Chains A and B, each alone.
Chain A
């Protein structure tokens, strides 16, 4: 199984490793226990870390910054971003991205959390996921749409 944007299980990182003989010098010999722990942690963290994040300033509007877990080799470009109206933004990811082998792997967001970075008291953001898109809406306490800088975490 390839890596991001897929989420590989522990088995993708090799079998349960065994030492061919007892480790005499742990500085010069890599203990199988270390390899097993590395594989466990990589598999575990790979499950729960966001696949992508972005910061978007809706008042300009402009993408401030963005990164994806599936683009450690090359920047895959700015996610699609549209300001539908005051406090109403749509972000779109591609249907596929390359894995570590260059194969196209499907990607669809499953969960998103949006947080307003510069809001006044009572200003909050919600996210709605649908297919490749995430629509973020920013409202004040009265429910009126307001612009803001939004951090979006995508799983």
Chain B
């Protein structure tokens, strides 16, 4: 049987079917509009397996609660949130909490687990990411640099500075993590 659990855990093609078995047609598919061939399903499985490996686990825009901004997640997407439960415009949610340590110094803590396809708790484990200052409503963030100072399995810390090595500076940030 298929034992893979899906996001937040990455799934390989071999995990999508029983022991990775390749599908074969029981009968020759005569009408491709009415019958899905094994070859076509294999393409689906291949693509979905690939997406499951390469897609970011989370992407979001954080707006700090200072410097003229309003603290909130302006937009966010989480690969395990397939029911779209995440509520925008709050700085925290079930599996997510944003902390502003100081101007331009932000930490994003995720829960250790999130439900997989069968509802069971599965580990969230980030391995890398990227962050950039993001101008909102078309504003120019200026000559700012966002440093992804740390990516742990469940925690991300971002610092935004004015120019490389400059003073910490308040600014919304766009973050994507894998």
CB contact under 8 A between A113 and B74, given known A37-B11, A44-B82, A129-B136: no
CA distance A133 to B82 in the complex (A): 28
**Does more than half of chain A's interface fall in helix, strand or loop, or is it mixed?**
mixed
Taking the closest CB of chain A, its distance from the CB of B50, in whole angstroms, is: 9
Count A-B pairs with CB separation below 8 Å. 165
Given contacts A9-B83, A130-B137, A135-B140, 14 further A-B pairs with CB under 8 A are A30-B41, A33-B1, A33-B2, A37-B6, A37-B15, A40-B82, A44-B7, A45-B79, A48-B58, A49-B55, A110-B61, A110-B75, A111-B59, A128-B137
Contacts of B136 in A (CB 8 A): 128-130
CA distance A112 to B144 in the complex (A): 15
CB contact under 8 A between A37 and B4, given known A26-B18, A111-B75, A111-B174: yes
A143 located at the interface, meaning its Cβ lies under 8 Å from any Cβ of chain B in the complex: yes
Query: Is there an interface contact between B84 and A9, defined as CB atoms closer than 8 Å?
Result: yes
- Of the stretches A54-62, A74-82, A97-105, A119-127, the one at the interface is A119-127
A66 located at the interface, meaning its Cβ lies under 8 Å from any Cβ of chain B in the complex: no
Contacts of B71 in A (CB 8 A): none
A153 located at the interface, meaning its Cβ lies under 8 Å from any Cβ of chain B in the complex: yes
Q: In the complex, what residue of chain B is closest to A136 when comparing beta carbons?
A: B135
Contacts of A29 in B (CB 8 A): 26
CA distance A7 to B144 in the complex (A): 31
Query: Is there an interface contact between A139 and B176, defined as CB atoms closer than 8 Å?
Result: no
Q: How large is the interface on A (under 10, 10 to 19, 20 to 34, 35 or more residues)?
A: 35 or more
Contacts of B75 in A (CB 8 A): 110-111, 155
CB contact under 8 A between A48 and B26, given known A7-B77, A129-B138: no
Query: Is there an interface contact between B59 and A155, defined as CB atoms closer than 8 Å?
Result: yes
Query: Is there an interface contact between B145 and A124, defined as CB atoms closer than 8 Å?
Result: yes
Contact with B along A125-149 (1 / 0, CB 8 A): 1111111010101010111000000
Query: Is there an interface contact between B16 and A37, defined as CB atoms closer than 8 Å?
Result: yes
Within 8 A of B (CB), among A14-44: 23, 26-31, 33-34, 36-38, 40-44
Q: How large is the interface on B (under 10, 10 to 19, 20 to 34, 35 or more residues)?
A: 35 or more
Query: Is there an interface contact between B52 and A45, defined as CB atoms closer than 8 Å?
Result: yes
Contacts of B74 in A (CB 8 A): 110-111
| Residue from B51, B83, B116 within 8 A of A42 (CB atoms) | B51
Contacts of B142 in A (CB 8 A): 126, 143
**Pairs A-B, 5 closest by C-beta atoms:** A128-B135, A130-B138, A26-B18, A10-B82, A143-B143
Query: Is there an interface contact between A126 and B144, defined as CB atoms closer than 8 Å?
Result: yes
Query: Is there an interface contact between B135 and A48, defined as CB atoms closer than 8 Å?
Result: no
Taking the closest CB of chain B, its distance from the CB of A87, in whole angstroms, is: 11
